[in-house]
Amino acid sequence: MARSWLDIDPSSDFSLANIPFGIIDTPEDVTRHVGVAIGSYVLDLKELAHRIGANNLLPFGAHSTPGVFETRTLNAFAKLGRSVHRHVRERIQDLLSENTSCPHLLRDNAELREKVLWPQHRVRMFLPMDIGDYTDFYAGYHHAYAVGVMFRGPANALQPNYTHLPVGYHGRASSIVVSGTPVRRPVGQILLDPKAEPKQPTVAPSRKLDIELELGCFITKSNDLGHPVSIDEAEKHVFGYVLLNDWSARDIQTWEYVPLGPFNGKNFTTTISPWVVLADALEPFKTKGIENPTPLQDYLKEKREETVFDIQLEVDLTTPDGNTTTITKTNGKNLMWSFPQMIAHHTLGGCPLRKGDLLGSGTISGPVPEESGSLLELSEGGKRVIQLNGGEGRTFLKDGDTVTFRGFCVGKEGERVGFGECTGRVEGA
């Protein structure tokens, strides 16, 4: 990977090897439109395409959609398909490269640089996609096992179907928000004394507000009703990836989830990071996931062994007093099921996915307790206090707490591919 003529910190998530896409507005253009992150800057693609011509960014055949960078979401760009995404990403990399093939277009054009390059702190970020449907899977084996042990014991921690298919449920797309949006503590039915008989719930604010550290996948290509996506074609349906916090109210969830699964305990808020890291940017970091000892059905068999991503994941908790503690570190490779397998299973019965749909991986936890992706695991269901810097402790979240996810892949020096931050602050019910 060539160096950029921009001054980019080697530790930046947004190296020249990345080029993630998002929806922005700027002090000079308050209409939402497309930008990309590069180092500590944002490149305004709407303004750039207007100044140099969309044909200098889009491949031949895609010129009929010159306004694709002027839209309020990335859906129109996602719809163009992975070959176009690849071309545009490579074209931007060339324009930003120290040895660019077209130095006059941007590198040597000081006036244009002033118009199209913005410091990130001067740009506002918005939800990157118009999300029609959201499906949350349960592919984090260590999380599924640890939580299963809490409720059913080691012998029955996992249901018999867990290693046969990617377990999932349909979430609520309308409550997905972009990083930085406050998270209101939900109110719901909870059991104050689970051991009391008869069981009588109380309507109250959740006392066990939790996080779930996940990876989100956006769909770029639709399939028709009644036509499943084969495992070999599933990769073509992937647009890109974000960090995802599927906030969870454990006390509401515990009372309601039998027999049909999570509902109000999950649907109040899901936070995603604002920058969509394209599938091609993560391709060099593919690795093996957790080995599945169960013989798979043919529709779930992938040809390659490297099916998940070596993404270093971290979670910070900042108290209202401003003390920050990194409460967990884990890795994206701790998944038993890949996103292509999730797509193939999701569509097996003929369910149509649509561009902009979001799939969640499920909570990503490592094999040891300190690598857990939820407070439920870190606190052992509320039995153990998590010690924080500044002397405070937590079992679950308090009002005023801020949770920040980070995720990044470490390549060669100066080629880090990361997601930026996925953050949310808890507000009172």
Binding site for substrate: residue ranges?
138, 152, 253, 257, 363
96 secondary structure, DSSP code: H
Strands annotated E in 238-351: 238-245, 248-249, 270-272, 277-278, 286-287, 308-309, 312-318, 324-331
Among the listed residues 143, 237, 345, 346, the single catalytic one is: 143
What's the token pair of residue 23?
């929806």
237 is catalytic: no
186 secondary structure, DSSP code: P
**Residues forming the annotated binding site?**
136, 138, 152, 212, 214, 246, 253, 257, 266, 270, 363
Rounded CA gap, 419 and 406, in Å?
Answer: 7
Rounded CA gap, 254 and 333, in Å?
Answer: 28
Q: What's the full length of the chain, in residues?
A: 429
Q: Could you tell me which of 229, 252, 233, 366 has the C-alpha nearest to residue 310?
A: 366
Q: Could you tell me which of 283, 214, 242, 50 has the C-alpha nearest to residue 129?
A: 242
Rounded CA gap, 339 and 283, in Å?
Answer: 13
Rounded CA gap, 68 and 247, in Å?
Answer: 32
106 secondary structure, DSSP code: T
Catalytic residues: 143
